[in-house]
Chain A
Amino acid sequence: MVGGGIRKLLTGNAAAAWGARLARIDYVPAFPITPQTEIIELLSEWFDDGTLRGKFVTLDSEHAMLTAAGAAAATGVRVFTATSSQGLVYGLEVLYTLAGWRVPLVLVNVSRGLSAPITLGPDHNDVLAARDTGFLQLHAETCQEVVDFILLAYRLAESPAISAPVLVNLDGFQLSFTREAVELPSAEQAERFLGPFQPLHPGFRHSHPVAQGVAVLDGATYSYFRYQLHRAVENAVEEFSRVAAEFAATCGREYAPLELYRADDAELLLVMIGSYATKAKAAIDRWRAAGRRVGLARLRLVRPWPAADLQRALAGRRAVGVLDQNLSPGLGGVLYQEVAGAVAGMANGPAVLRSFIGGLGGKDVSDAEFDHMLATLDAARPGGPPPAAELLMTQVEWRQVARSLTVAGKQEAVSAGKEGGEHAGSA
């Protein structure tokens, strides 16, 4: 047992702040947005009382915040920042910019559904809008993972083989405001695992002028830089395992890019990301208790996409279901498409691959819905084109929506919903 840490009851947000604190960050440009605010409130407090040295500064928007973050990282300090939802997409342009600058900073996103309609509840459309930016993405299930992933993230970001920004995602409300027991690495452990920031390139300074972010006006050169970023991000699959092994040796917790839960002999496998995996595991336990061979594959690493891990994990399964807590209108689930891409053409790929959409905008994924997904996989037979994504909603939830529609004077929508409804489960 590798000891030395302290156990604390922390929300996901406090865990994120602690992760940044243990990483001994120099600089936090900030902008408040629900449900991320507790992170920056704690960090500002620690800068104010001298626990953290450097600077905390409130910007006027996430677009500006991310620009300041990248510019500071390019100048040579260790930078942390955090946002959510509208803030992430408001700053989306800058995410591409920072990845292009290859600056090794860490950004926490506290997932929240996107407007319109504006909402506060979590889903993954915000973070998946950033999937093509060149940021690495780590997705936490627990508050413990939030702390640990931030430390891992700095190692990955600052690795000479990668040198790219990293996004650590935690789900709003379910994780950001949920207290869990967290084993905090001690300052010594954190320092042993993550040394001081040593920039790969000298930043802006008098004796060494540099031009960064310069225009490229031909496609071949542009392609070269994009390919280079792609290769660097790909390197993070291997680097993750190396860095995670060091983390395990220092702090005693092991992490693989893809977590497999009771999957060894599973015929039916669910694939997903995020905090609802805790509920998925409970469903797996229920089915296992009934003697059914079911399991879970949860992606911790979403960028780079651990395709080889997925191929190994999905090979030979009777049926695999992907639960997407996001919706690409007119396409379906984003992760489903990526999983399908990973196993396409495999001789021993899963015989059935199904797509489920659930948990949008903070909607629960109930025990009944997990049971429904597993039952659907169990009943599915190979052959034919894959059916469209199934949109999950329980009867109880539908009745609640119907009540609101009625109050809003939209009875015709209620009748249409009854006729064409696709409501799974019966909680």
Chain B
Amino acid sequence: MRVAREHFHNLKELPQAEPLAPGSPLCAGCGGLTALRLIHKVLGENVVLVNAAGCMTLLATFPYTPLHASWLYTTMGSAAAGAQGVRDALDILIASGRLPAEENLQVVVLAGDGSTLDMGLSATSAAIHRQLDFWYLCYDNEAYGNTGFQLSAASPPGSWTATTHHGTAQRKKDIFEIWRAHRPPYVATLSAHDPIDLAEKVARAATLRGPKLLLSLAVCPTGWGFDPSLGDEIAKLAIETGIWPLKEARDGVVRHTYRPSRFRPVEEYLRPQRRFRHLFTPQRNDNLLAALQRQVDEYWREAT
């Protein structure tokens, strides 16, 4: 079941312009990069990306950048504060007549789950609290990917990371709900597997002033352990098993933008990924697999 769409109905309607040139030091099959490309298409070129330390920091590596847009790498913990400084300075320059209004830019934080869920959370929470007019794009590959895939607060239960060799014990920190508790105008989850849903959400949020979170699952061949050619299939399974719900919250009101008519078993998503291999071999961990399925079932029982 899908919600009605206003702006985009098929792939042909997506903007043709490519804001991201091919060629970057990122891994083959990076789901985060695909999400960035799609989001950027809808946002247009008049953006400045304010980056926190993470995989995407490698996009702009002196003297190259694949971006047509502006870029500012900040630190791991303060990208949202960087967004505040750029936004405020542009406002001051335009208000005082030192910069023509047509030079204005949309300010977009670009950060991974590690920065977003932990170190950068203070600066981000404060920026939302101040109702800063900015986008926050989080590519969630569920670990500290750039440093070799160590545990982050987004690592899913049961998953191997380079620092949880027997599987992650805790559940993902719910950054969607943490943002929503601040009552920003818009919060959404996205997936590059569903570009229409993604584009629709960006277009819907573009009319809103204030903090806007776009939280995209970023399939990660390197860290998750699958062939890059399987990226879209894994992304699809994340949605169809219900593991990665597509939803939005406008002024705090949640609605799911897609609900699978028949949920695939969670196992189908887990099995192709090396990070979950220990759940199946040398012995099948029936208890944990059942628990993971139960978590997803419980989520959707309560989902609106």
Residues of A within 8 A of B (CB): 26-27, 29, 53-55, 57, 59-61, 63-65, 67-77, 93-94, 97, 203-207, 209-217, 221
Contacts and interface: CB of A to CB of B under 8 A. Distances in A.
B85 A71 contact: yes
Contact of A213 (B73, B77, B104, B130): B73
Contacts of B48: 204, 209
B82 interface: yes
A206 B72 contact: no
Interface string B56-71: 0110111001011111
Contacts of A207: 103
Given A54-B92, A206-B103, 20 more contacts: A27-B85, A27-B88, A29-B84, A55-B91, A59-B81, A63-B77, A63-B81, A67-B78, A71-B82, A71-B83, A71-B84, A72-B85, A74-B85, A75-B90, A94-B75, A204-B48, A209-B45, A211-B71, A212-B70, A216-B62
Contacts of A214: 60-62, 65, 71, 73
Contact of A55 (B46, B78, B80, B92): B92
A68 B82 contact: yes
Given A64-B123, A93-B75, A207-B103, A59 B84 contact: yes
27 contacts: A29-B81, A53-B96, A57-B130, A60-B125, A63-B78, A64-B84, A65-B81, A67-B78, A72-B85, A72-B89, A74-B85, A93-B75, A94-B75, A94-B78, A97-B74, A204-B86, A204-B105, A205-B99, A209-B45, A209-B68, A211-B71, A212-B70, A214-B65, A214-B73, A215-B61, A216-B62, A217-B62
B73 A67 contact: no
Nearest to A53: B96
Nearest to B25: A217
B126 A60 contact: yes
Contacts of A77: 88-89, 92-93
Contacts of B71: 210-214
A71 B75 contact: no
A211 B67 contact: yes
Given A55-B92, A204-B70, A204-B105, A68 B81 contact: yes
Nearest to A215: B61
Nearest to A214: B60
A76 B89 contact: yes
Contact of B123 (A54, A67, A211): A67
A59 B78 CA distance: 11
Contact of B122 (A54, A60, A211, A213): A60
Contact of B93 (A57, A69, A75): A75
Contacts of B68: 209
The SS class assigned to the A binding surface is mixed
A73 B92 CA distance: 12
B6 interface: no
6 nearest A-B pairs in the assembled complex, by CB-CB distance: A71-B85, A75-B89, A60-B126, A64-B81, A68-B85, A72-B85
A211 B46 contact: no
Contacts of A64: 77-78, 80-81, 84, 122-123, 126
A216 B93 contact: no
Contacts of A215: 57-58, 60-62, 73
A76 B84 contact: no
A373 to B, nearest CB: 42
A64 B83 CA distance: 10
B81 A67 contact: yes
Contacts of A27: 85, 88-89, 92
Interface string B168-210: 0000000000000000000000000000000000000000000
B18 to A, nearest CB: 15
A63 B122 CA distance: 10
B70 A211 contact: yes
B50 interface: yes
B93 A76 contact: yes
A206 B62 contact: no
B89 A71 contact: yes
A355 B68 CA distance: 56
Nearest to B103: A205
Contact of B85 (A29, A209, A216): A29
A65 to B, nearest CB: 7
A53 B105 CA distance: 22
A211 B57 CA distance: 12
B302 interface: no
Nearest to A210: B70
Contacts of A76: 89, 93, 98-99
A203 B60 CA distance: 17
A248 to B, nearest CB: 31
B102 interface: yes
A60 B62 contact: no
Contacts of A211: 60, 65, 67, 70-72
B87 to A, nearest CB: 9
B178 to A, nearest CB: 15
Residue in B69, B85, B105 whose Cβ sees the most chain A Cβ within 10 Å: B85
B21 to A, nearest CB: 13
A203 B126 contact: no
A71 B70 contact: no
A206 B81 contact: no
A206 B46 contact: yes
Contacts of A55: 88, 91-92
A217 B126 contact: no
Interface in B255-287: none
Contacts of A203: 89, 93
Contacts of B130: 57
Contact of B88 (A68, A93, A205): A68
